[in-house]
Every structure is written in structure tokens, then in C-alpha cells.
Amino acid sequence: MRREELVDTDCGIAQALGVVGDWQTLLIVREAAAGVTRFEAFTRELGLSRRALAERLGGLVEHGVLVKVPYSDRPPRYDYRLTARGEGLLPVLLALQEWGTRHVLGDGSLTGGLGEAELHRVRGLAGTRVPDVGLEAHDGTEVRLVDPEAWTVLFFFPGAYAPGSAGYPPRWGEVPGTGGCTLECVTYGRRHAALVGAGARVLGVSTQHPEQLAAFAAHAELPYRLASDQDGLASSALRLPVFRAGGSDRLKRVTLLVDPEGVVRHLQAPVTDPAQSVDDALDVVRRLATTT
């Protein structure tokens, strides 16, 4: 469908499809979220012809989804970076990913556990570099996924709530894979001093609002920060597995051990024993941080 053929001017869906209405354009946005910025890198990752890629990049720039940032004058070369408007598409990508995983690759069942396709994708993160993403922490500060001064135990979890707060979605406990978030967070708190002593910081990430995370962190007396990925920045950048519950996308449980250069050196997926996974992470930190 050509963009000029869209005449439904009152429909946001139609107008959005006029900007990102084919699979190639959406995959360009996906790669931009993952940190791909240069023409040759897009070509390599997506296998598009140069003409097709140039046309779609130009359209995304024209519509304010990407912005061109020069990095070379002779010859002229540009990085293509997501704008705030472009980042607004990330929840759409997550919704498509969740729907495709659940209904196309899967049998339609709602689960917080990892399927085979998700496991394959997550395990492919080993050895890759984590994009430079900043999130709002529960204490109101910005926190980066990578700390150049320390290793990072980066654990993603579905959700944990303080008692008496506007908490768990209806029928949350019936969704396989959602149990154990509080135990995981609290166990990281108990092992925090040992992890810091081994040269690592701890960062927990969920899609909850910062206020919900702040209430839970205060209740559990956590000595480390929790970060909110409510806008899908980290989820999209890392193409993390999600499921939908309570009207929101929730992260499935995955743990990454990231070195100070931002490289994923070890990962845990699936995490079937949240408490034991913390001790396993500590053992790996002690081994890797002292040998590099």
C-alpha cells in the first residue's frame, strides 16, 4: 500500500501504517532500538537491498522516527538514531513480539516461561554488547544498564509488589513462570554485600512504574536499585521475551552478567529456581571478575 493511498485520516492505526506499514520498516526500527545506527550495519543485519534500505530510512527520517546525525564529512556519512517519536513505537514492537511468540510460534497459551524460540534468542545475547540504555530507577535517578566501573548482575523479572499496594494483576498467580519475584529480589538483597565484594553491582529491571518499584524496594529494604522499563527501552534493545498480563507487557525472567565493557559474559535462562540463581550468579561473578 502506498502512503498516499491512505485516506482514513481520522484513524490512528491507518495513519501509523502509513509511516511503518511494512515489515522491512518495522525491522529497521527494531534494529535501531538494539543500537544499530549505520547504513552498512542495517544492510548486514536485515539483508535488504541498498535501494530498499535507503528508501525506508529516508521515510523514517521524513516522518521524524529517525534522525540523521553526521559522523563523517568526506564522504558524508550518517548515524540513524531513534527520536522520541521513534521510541514511542517500542511498545508496539513489544506487543508484536509477544503476539508472534504466543500465537504464531506458540499455541496461544499465556505463560511467563521461556519457549524454545525465546531461549534461542536470549542465548544469542552471550558475547554481544548491551546497548547504552538509561532507565528511571526506583529512587528517581537514572541508571544505565552498563557500569564502566563494575560488573553488573542485570536481572529482569515479571513484577514484585509491596503488600497493600495496587499490586498484582488479576489471576497473576495462574500464569506459569510469574512466581518467585519477591524471593529473587530479596535473595539478591541478602547476597548484595558479597556481590559488591566480588566486584559487581546488582540491578533489577521490570516494566512496573517507578512508584511501584519504590514501594516494593522500601518494603523489602533492598540495598540496590530497581529500574523501570515501562517504556520498553531495554526490552526492545535486547529483544527480551515478554508476556502480557493485567493490560501491560511483562518481562520474562532472564539474568545477564555484563562486564564493565558492556559485554554479556554469562546468562541465566531459563531461571527456574530464583533463589538458587542468585547464588549461581555470585559464583560466576567471583570466577569471571577475578580472572579478567
Q: Supply the CATH number for residue 235's domain.
A: 3.40.30.10
| DSSP codes of every residue in 246-267 | TTEEEEPPEEEEE-TTSBEEEE
- Cis ω for the linkage preceding 270 (within 30 of 0): yes
Tally the domains of the chain: 2
Phi/psi region, residue 150 (left: phi>0; alpha: psi -120 to 50; beta: rest), is beta
Q: Is residue 104 part of a domain?
A: no
Which pLDDT does position 292 carry in this prediction?
65
- 20 lies in which domain range? 3-87
For the entire predicted model, the pTM comes to 0.89
Q: Answer yes or no: do 245 and 179 share one domain.
A: yes
Q: Which position has the grid cell 538514531?
A: 81
Dist CA 261 CA 292 (whole Å): 12
CA distances (Å), 37 to each of 33, 232, 243, 257, in order? 9, 19, 28, 25
Q: Answer yes or no: do 13 and 123 share one domain.
A: no
Q: Answer yes or no: do 155 and 276 share one domain.
A: yes
Q: Which residues contact residue 75 at a Cβ distance below 8 angstroms, ignoring those fewer than 6 apart? A: none
Q: Supply the CATH number for residue 32's domain.
A: 1.10.10.10
Average pLDDT value for residue range 150-154 = 97
Last residue of a domain, one of 53, 87, 121: 87
pLDDT tens, position by position, 253-274: 999 999 999 999 999 999 999 9
Grid cell, residue 11, equals 484513524
Phi/psi region, residue 28 (left: phi>0; alpha: psi -120 to 50; beta: rest), is alpha
pLDDT tens, position by position, 137-147: 999 999 999 99
Q: Answer yes or no: do 189 and 55 share one domain.
A: no
Does the structure show a pLDDT above 80 at 165?
Answer: no
pLDDT tens, position by position, 217-229: 999 999 999 999 9
Burial 142-164 (b: 16+ CB within 10 A, else e): ebebbbeebbbbbbbbbbbbbee
Cβ-in-10-Å burial (0-12, 13-18, 19+) of 82 comes to: buried
Q: Is residue 97 part of a domain?
A: no
Confidence of residue 2 (pLDDT cuts 50, 70, 90): very low
Confidence of residue 128 (pLDDT cuts 50, 70, 90): very high
Q: Is residue 83 part of a domain?
A: yes
* CA neighbor of 36 nearest in space, from 21, 18, 48: 48
Last residue of a domain, one of 22, 54, 87: 87
Q: Is residue 98 part of a domain?
A: no
Q: Answer yes or no: do 82 and 120 share one domain.
A: no
Q: Is residue 262 part of a domain?
A: yes
Sign, CA torsion 36/37/41/46: positive
Q: Answer yes or no: do 49 and 158 share one domain.
A: no
Which pLDDT does position 7 carry in this prediction?
58
